Structure 1
Amino acid sequence: MRSNTKATAVTFDGVTKAFGSVVAVDNISFTIEAVTLVTLLGPSGCGKTTTLRLIAGLEMVTGGRVLIGETDVTRTPATERDVSMVFQSYALFPHMTVLENVAYGLHVSGLAKAEAQARAEDGLDLVGLKGYGARLPSELSGGQQQRVAVARALVLEPQVLLFDEPLSNLDAKLRRRVREEIRELQQNLGTTSVYVTHDQEEALAVSDRIIVMKNAAIAQQGTPRELYEEPANTFVATFIGDANLVNVEIIEVHGEWASVRIGSIDKTLPSRGLKAGVAKAAIRPEALLLSPQPSVDGMASGVLKATYLGSHMEYTVDSPLGELFVIDSRMAQAIPVGATVSVRLADQGVTLIRE
């Protein structure tokens, strides 16, 4: 299968979707650039799946415009939009073989049987299922069924490929492997892809950009690194990874930098438009450094909990800032409950929160 030369951008311009008095999507605007994978991320009920269905044409907007490339598809039905969707449930036909499932959309679009079969076989080869065409879906594992659903969508060579929680039915190890396969396929084929999930780790792993949604609106959008290191508000800080939210004092601001007092520690941080006074900061668990020895640039704290998790230790410490959650990769130096430690701050992972 060749690289997708039809891949194009998706634009939402002030889009609203209401179901009666319930507003599912509230005046949102964004652009998904061609040949990128963008994830709509958020908790259940935030509007992410409705947004995906508005791209597909499975729901029609109440207000605003939807564009695919330069074409306004706001009132275009789903059957006339050049998009394909991979559903959470896979939606494979149980009475058809794997090859017949993959070729189904090609047959419906009027492609000759021989060409449809050849493209379907190419699609199966692409997702690592060459030789599986004669099997029934029931003879495949969950991960294999998901790959069949991806192949069925890919062979149509759509302008936009949509994924609706595609990995939610898979176990944790298989989710990691299949998400890597989806990302590799998207990059190799150059498709524009929109991916919906509530799993933050999944979003960070597969995305060029992430749109975080809350209560039918966009809370923040940006690259995975931007969202993790520069969360716009407390919701994003706590939804994208773990974060300790603490009260701090901004002593003074010098342009883009601020002198900040965090407990007994003084630190220089990006000011993010804030002024001197009381503020909040988000501290990532891995940015808290524990030492059994007292330190002049640390805060004396007590270890309340210590949990061994194979690849790292997790601690809860009682500090002058309150209880803090700490992730520490130093397995050989585990600290016992009840010990007194000094808590220092790493150079990265501490951010002022702009409410």
Structure 2
Amino acid sequence: MAEIRSNAASVEFRNVTKIYGKSKAPAVNGVSLFIEAGKLVTLLGPSGCGKTTTLRMIAGLEMVTGGQILIGGADVTRLPATDRDVSMVFQSYALFPHMTVTQNVEYGLGFSGFGRKETAERARAGLELVGLSNFGDRLPSQLSGGQQQRVAVARALVLEPQVLLFDEPLSNLDAKLRRRVREEIREIQQKLGLTVVYVTHDQEEALAVSDRIIVMNNAVIAQDGTPRELYEQPANAFVADFIGEANMFQCEVVSVEGDSATVQLGSAVLKLPARGRKPGPAKLAARPSRLEIGEPNAPGTLPGTLEKVTYVGSHLEFVVATQFGEVFVISPDVDTAFRAGQPVSIGFPERGPVLITD
């Protein structure tokens, strides 16, 4: 019985630019990145940021305007898609409706020089890997959306590509199914040690599946890091606001000693990691769940008035009017009675706010 193996390879972009036609605005502008073999890296960003173009250039479906692309250390910049050891799972699944599940999984193998026996064995191994061993004789129309997605994954896996690409793979699934399928994709990737490049605009999806996330905005990389780094230490206002929600405050860096900054935020004085900031005006980001609602006039806090209190089961959501405008706060304390119009204070725990660039 054939087994599906990993031929994982690294992916490197060296100052890659893509310009379509006569457009003056590049779709991808001087991007350099390195994706380690055996890791799942997500390209995340809003529509039009360049993430899908980046993915398609890895696949060879789009050719670069400038720069180099290397897979496994080999320059593939000018190679067509057919000469790259890369497989892609598309948003639409792209299954052949008139073929059975097994025939769909076998399809690519027929062009790769495998004999009939090995093709059949690889298809069986692929379907077993995605939990569809007993579905080989069915047509795609007889499967659920999640099952169709797994067939598309199996079809890509049996080719044992150096790099496996996912283009918005879960966008056609409902929320509950998305969560289950993304867990399955992550489990297969880790089990086989695959190099996966994954495109999505869904922040939660990216945080859940990725070893690293590359956030793109306006054709360039806004920040590259682990999910925790991007969530807890956003480099700038765009990343802070795009990866989850964030409250933005104008503040003043009073002084810097080593890696520690003294920051004035209204009546609150905070000690924060300096992150390279110098004394002067600055911007601070704070996640709603990293703020605390307390009694008014507590020392070291920001005074405010509750405008809205919303109970959503597992937590309370507050909108607080302050001198800096409305501040959104999430609290797990669902038992304390709060009411609109009540004066409160907003506290800043040590691991709460971070200094960012514009």
Is TM > 0.5 for Structure 1 vs Structure 2?
yes
- 1:327 match: secondary structure: strand
Supply the distance in 1 between the matched residues of 2:44 and 2:6 (Cα, whole angstroms).
27
Q: Tell me what 2:84 maps to.
A: 81
Aligned-partner residue type, residue 220 of structure 2:
A
1:16 matched residue in structure 2: 17
TM-score (norm 1): 0.97
**Pairing partner for 1:49 from 46, 49, 52:** 52
**1:168 corresponds to which letter in structure 2?**
S
1:135 aligns with 2:138: yes
Q: Which residue of 2 aligns with 1:7?
A: 8
Match in the other structure for 1:313 = 316
Q: How does 1:95-174 map to 2 (within 5 A)?
A: 95-174=98-177
- Rounded to whole Å, the distance in 2 between the matches of 1:13 and 1:295 is 52
Return 230-239 or 313-322, whichever deviates more.
313-322
Quote the Cα distance in structure 1 between the aligned partners of 2:290 and 2:91.
36
CA contact (8 A) 1:3 1:188 kept: no
User: Per-residue displacement from partner, 1:190-222 (whole Å, max 9, x unpaired)?
Assistant: 000000000011111111111111111111111
| Distance (whole Å) between structure 2 residues aligned to residue 213 and residue 106 of structure 1 | 34
Give the Cα separation in 2 of the matches to 1:133 and 1:327.
Answer: 47
Matching residue of 1:72:
75
Match of 1:245 in 2: 248
C-alpha separation between the residues in 2 aligned to 1:179 and 1:134?
25
Shift of 1:312: 1.9
For residue 293 of structure 1, report the CA deviation from its aligned partner.
5.7
Question: Which shows bigger deviation, 276-285 or 328-337?
Answer: 328-337
Q: Residue 261 of structure 1: which of 242, 261, 264 is its match?
A: 264
Give the C-alpha shift of residue 81 in structure 1. Answer: 0.3
RMSD across aligned positions (CA): 1.3
Could you list the runs of 5+ residues in structure 1 that have no partner in the other structure? none
SS in 2 for 1:184: helix
Over 3 Å counting, the alpha-carbon distance change for 1:105 and 1:326 in structure 2 is same
Equivalent position of 1:223 in the other structure = 226
How far apart, in 2, do the equivalents of 1:337 and 1:78 lie? 59
Corresponding pairs, count: 355
Q: Please give the alpha-carbon distance, in whole angstroms, between the structure 1 residues aligned to 2:338 and 2:119.
A: 62
**Residue in structure 2 matched with residue 186 of structure 1 by the alignment:** 189
Q: TM-score, normalised by structure 2?
A: 0.96
Query: Hey, which bits of structure 1, 4+ residues long, moved more than 6 A?
Result: none
Task: Return the offset for 1:4.
Answer: 3.7
CA deviation after TM superposition for structure 1 residue 32, in Å: 0.3
Identity, % of aligned pairs? Answer: 63
Amino acid at match of 1:43: P
Which structure 2 segments of 5+ residues have no match? Answer: none
Deviates more, 1:298-307 or 1:244-253: 298-307
Aligned mates of 2:4, 2:214 — CA distance in 1: 26
Deviation at 1:3, TM superposition (A): 6.6
Q: 2:179 aligns with which of 144, 161, 176?
A: 176
Structure 1 residues 86 and 255, CA gap change in structure 2 (3 angstroms)? same
Q: SS where residue 338 of structure 1 aligns?
A: coil
Secondary structure of the structure 1 residue equivalent to 2:244: coil
Q: Which amino acid aligns with 1:160?
A: V
What's the counterpart of residue 205 of structure 2?
A: 202
Indicate the SS of the match to 1:110.
coil
**Is 1:272–1:354's contact at 8 Å kept on the other side of the alignment?**
no
